[in-house]
Structure formats: C-alpha cells, structure tokens
Amino acid sequence: MPYCDLSSNGIRIFYRRCGHGSTKVLLIIGLAGTHDSWGPQIKGLTGAVEPNDEEAPPTVTVGGESNTLGEEVREGDGIEVCCFDNRGVGRSSVPTEKSDYTTTIMAEDALALLDHLGWKKAHVFGHSMGAMIACKLAAMAPDRICSLALLSVTGGGFECFPKIDLQMLSLAFRFLRAKTPEQRAMVDLETHYTKEYLDECVGSRTRRDILYQDYVKAISSSGMQSNYGFEGQLNACWMHNMTSKELETIRSSGVLVSIIHGRDDIIAQLDHARRLAKKLQPVARMVELHGAHLVSHERPEEVNLALMELIKASKSKLEPEEWSQLAESESGCLVLKMHPPLNNRNKDDANSLIMYKLLGKLQLRFL
C-alpha cells in the first residue's frame, strides 16, 4: 500500500495515484471524507478507474533542477492525480490529541506528500475542509501551486456552521448519534445532495437507493471514523482562519483560483464562499452550480469542465484580471463577476459572528 511517512512525527498518510501525464493534480478531501470521494473527478480528469500502485519517484529538492512536472506542459499530455486520506480518517494515522489537527498542520502533510511524490508543482483542488487546507498550502508554498480550486469552501470558524433550522438540528443530532454505516449513510445522503437529485429515478430505482448502498459499502470498507479523528478534524475547521497576510500571498502569487459552490449547499453557506472570492480578487473566479455540498458528485460534468478550464487557463498564463472577469464558462455554469471586498462588516455580520462562535463552542463541548 502506498504511504507517505512523515519522519518527524511518525504520521503516515495513505494516498493513491491515478492517470499518467506531466500535468499533476493534488486532490484534498474534506471533513470525514476519504480519498475515494474524488471518484468522479479522477475519472473525469484522467479517464482512469484504477490507481497506479507503482512506487513514487525519488523525492525532489525544491531548489534543485529536478522537476517531475517541468516548466512547460505540452498540449495533449495527460493528467496524473493524487488523492489521499487526511490524518484522522481512512487508512492514514489518527493522532489522539486535538492539537495535532489544524489546517496548517494538514497543509504541511500535503506539502510533504508533494515532496514524496517528487512533484515540484501541482494544481491543487480541495473540497470543504480540504479547500481550507488547500488555502493554507497555497499561502505556505505559493511557488508549488499551478492553480487552486476551492469546492464547497468557507472561511472556517463560525462560517463552518450551517444555517440553523429544524432540519439542520435534526441532521446534526442524527449525525452525532450514528454508530453504524447504515445510520451514517442515511445522514450523509441528506447533507450531501439535494432532495431533487436523490429522488431522480435511474431505471427502476431512485438515486437515493443506489447511493445508499454505495455509501454503506464505502463506509464499511474504510471503517467508521474514530472519535479522535472526527473531533480533531472538526477542531481544525473551527480553528481555521486565513489572515490578511496569507490572502495577500495568494493574491500576489498570481495563481488562478476557482471557487466552485452548489447553490443549495446546506453545510457550507454560499455567501461565505462569495465573501472569500471577493477577498481573493483579482485572481479568483466564483462558479455557482445547481447542487448541494457534494456538488462534485451531483454535477460532475460541470465541475470537471470548470476544473479543466482552470488548468487550461493556468497553462496559457491567462492574466488574473482576465480570468476573474470571464463572463461565461464552457461548462454552462453561472460565473459571477466579483467586486473588491468592503473594508467593514455591518452590524448584522458582527452579531452573527458572536452567535455562531457561541454555537460552535457548545457543539465542541458535546463531542
């Protein structure tokens, strides 16, 4: 099995590589997710359905001459992706201390994995918590990033908490009480997809029935996430924050950014993603699709086309201002032109911040 050993602390990160080519893509999954959650993107970007199990190439020295990716990516070359289990879930190590889980620490894990693979640079795509980690990685090592895609992302902290209503309270209660793959699968479906999508018929069965079986199988094979892992990853989301300096590092690097979000996401609210897109102007482009938190599964073709557009724009060295102001997308999704952020939040935002911080502290106390 392919592992990246972090020699400094004994942590092991499990990963898979798929596809072949000089274009390298690192996929970072979100809270409680495992590497195989990227299935639709792996198939869409590489055409591969089976992983490459060969050994990783020799570790690259960032300041040296060796570069697996190369300075130029020739048109027609294929794509190789790497997806992995974050610490605390799947086949990767599970530290028992909450302090061992922050988005900065997990970004360091991802950077170590790039070194292990021998990838000097890569396109980095993250989903939810994985997008938070991707932001930290881009601020930590902007010279290692070809482009950045942030799916279903928020700014962390109070923004991690969804709009509070009876439906969400019920889902949260059921999630925390889920002890079996079957119970967990039922909750995951309702938080990951729109009801409209789940109720669609595929042959004689609904998508809900089909996905339920898939989810139970996947959860059973990888195992239920331990309390240490879940609490640690949740703590990382709660503590996540991008400083003004970190955001400026991403902006000034000139790396193109796509923020891709489902308009019906009940986990990561759309307004938070829009706010982050404004903060990352002029390099960020806001892409909105019909779909929920797992928009990458619900609308895989549109998401994959948006990701390919990002890769192509990066290869062609498109100027950030051109990228962020493109009015239409080949994928047919809604692309919003963003305006510079306001310097001050209004009173309602301040009140919301206080309320969500209190809710967050209460939730973490019950875990």
pLDDT tens digits, 96-136: 999 999 999 999 999 999 999 999 999 999 999 999 999 99
pLDDT bucket at 20, cuts 50 / 70 / 90? very high
The domain locations on the chain are 3-161+233-336, 180-223
At the fourth CATH level, which superfamily is domain 3-161+233-336? Alpha/Beta hydrolase fold, catalytic domain (3.40.50.1820)
Find, among 3, 103, 83, the residue nearest to 35 by Cα: 83
Res 339 pLDDT > 70: no
Would you state the structure tokens that stand for residue 72, as one six-digit string?
Answer: 């130029």
Would you state the structure tokens that stand for residue 42, as one six-digit string?
Answer: 């792996």
Provide the strand spans (E) within the chain: 3-6, 11-18, 23-28, 79-84, 122-127, 145-151, 201-202, 205-206, 256-262, 284-289, 334-336
pLDDT bucket at 353, cuts 50 / 70 / 90? very low
pLDDT bucket at 77, cuts 50 / 70 / 90? confident
The whole-angstrom separation of Cα 311 and Cα 146 is: 8
Could you tell me which residue, 117 or 361, shows the higher pLDDT?
117
- The pLDDT assigned to 71 comes to 34
Find, among 129, 187, 229, 172, the residue nearest to 363 by Cα: 172
For the CA atoms of 275, 279, 281, 287, what is the dihedral angle to 10 degrees?
-30
- The pLDDT assigned to 333 comes to 55
